[in-house]
Amino acid sequence: MPPITCVEDLRQLYKRRVPKMFYDYAESGSYTETTFHRNEDDFKQIKIRQRVGVDISNVDTSATLAGKAASLPVAFAPVGMLGIQNAGGEIKVAKAARDFGVPFILSTMSICSIEQVAEATGAPFWFQLYVVKDRDYIRNLIHRAKAAGCSQLVVTMDLSMLGQRHRDVKNQLSIRPNLKNLINIATKPAWALDMVRTPYKTFGNVIGHAKGVDDLSSLLVWAAEMVDPALDWDDIAWIRKEWGGPIILKGIMDVDDARIAAQMGIETIVVSNHGGRQLDGAASSISMLPEIADAVGDQMELMLDSGVRTGMDIFRARALGASGVLLGRAMVYALGAMGQPGIAKLLDILQKEMKTTMGLAGKTETASIGPEDVWR
């Protein structure tokens, strides 16, 4: 096997190792996929200034994210069903993140539960909340996250209605595969064997906790009905009270919404369009960052996701006002390709790219990266 040199190598390996319907589930955007592709394209448009004559013998990639030191300004984004991409996936990513010193965010729609991840890692992680109609379930979930020692609550705001991904419809994406999907699974025996052996097989945060959801078929009915189109800022205030700690709002793309969050005293927002999986036609996250940073950057911390694939992208996001980035698909590629060592490999690749970029741009510390380091 040729050496893995970049995130794209991990993607190609991931495509070979994981059943097509789960690859397609990750590697797709809503509707025409315009925003999905725009996220990556717009990163490439941002030119980095090359500087020389600076002593770059010691380049330090560490940063502070939501008040905590991190060895690289990245966190792992909440992604549903990681445990389907690779058996026990959430635990594997959480362990690799802990060992490297970056945050991991567990999705509400994870396979491994909050308690299972907490027990396996013994380290605090962040928990992502989808706001569903059943408020008793939400309250219980918030208290479970608190009891497990989660240090940040990440509330996703851009999923009050579901953007359709055509590939999932065509593949009839389901945890219970149809015949066509079964035939494809037969071509991925290593993946299938791991799935048979793993104890982590259901949606650990939902089954047995949400009213009337006891098995996979009742979960599918619940999931279809769970999205709450009524989610508004009053709900955020309520969630904040229930949680009683710092919260991060994910999915803010507009300067007016960022201002509302700032007025509420929200500590951190993630400028994100859900990786182009929700509002197709929306701007890329990176193109919205400078305006949002100008408006509220002095009142709250800004993070960013959607389209980050390289250490150069991390540098660009940092230059335009983000404290750090969340990795969505890059993490899925690495996990699906190689499990926990894949995540360690990904972090190593990104750190080396970031270090080289910083050095060649004449920067030795992340804190000194700013708007003057890029041409827009």
Binding site for ligand FNR (CB under 6 A): 25-26, 39, 77-80, 107, 109, 128, 156, 250, 272, 274-275, 277, 305-308, 326-329, 332
The string of DSSP letters for 110-148 reads: -SS-HHHHHHHH-S--EEEEE-BS-HHHHHHHHHHHHHT
Kindly state the smallest distance separating residue 76's Cβ from ligand FNR, in Å. 9
Yes or no: say if 140 and 209 are a contact pair by the CB < 8 Å rule: yes
* Residue whose tokens read 């794209």: 8
For residues 272 and 363, which CB has a smaller minimum distance to ligand FNR in the complex? 272
For residues 306 and 366, which CB has a smaller minimum distance to ligand FNR in the complex? 306
Point out the catalytic residue in the list 37, 143, 209, 274: 274
Q: Is 274 a catalytic residue?
A: yes
Of the candidates 273, 268, 266, 269, the one whose C-alpha atom is nearest the C-alpha of residue 158 is 273
Kindly state the smallest distance separating residue 28's Cβ from ligand FNR, in Å. 8
Kindly state the smallest distance separating residue 30's Cβ from ligand FNR, in Å. 11
For residues 304 and 338, which CB has a smaller minimum distance to ligand FNR in the complex? 304
Kindly state the smallest distance separating residue 66's Cβ from ligand FNR, in Å. 16
Using CB atoms, what's the residue nearest to ligand FNR?
328
Kindly state the smallest distance separating residue 285's Cβ from ligand FNR, in Å. 8
- Residue 302 tokens read as 């800004």
Q: 360: number of CA atoms within 13 Å, CB side?
A: 13
For residues 102 and 332, which CB has a smaller minimum distance to ligand FNR in the complex? 332
**Per this entry, what is the length of the chain?**
376
Residues 6+ apart with CB under 8 A from 88: 111, 112, 198, 199, 200
Residue 77 CA to residue 305 CA, distance in Å, equals 8
For residues 121 and 306, which CB has a smaller minimum distance to ligand FNR in the complex? 306
Per-residue CA distances from 154 to 37, 90, 218 (Å):
25, 16, 26
**Which residues form the catalytic set?**
274
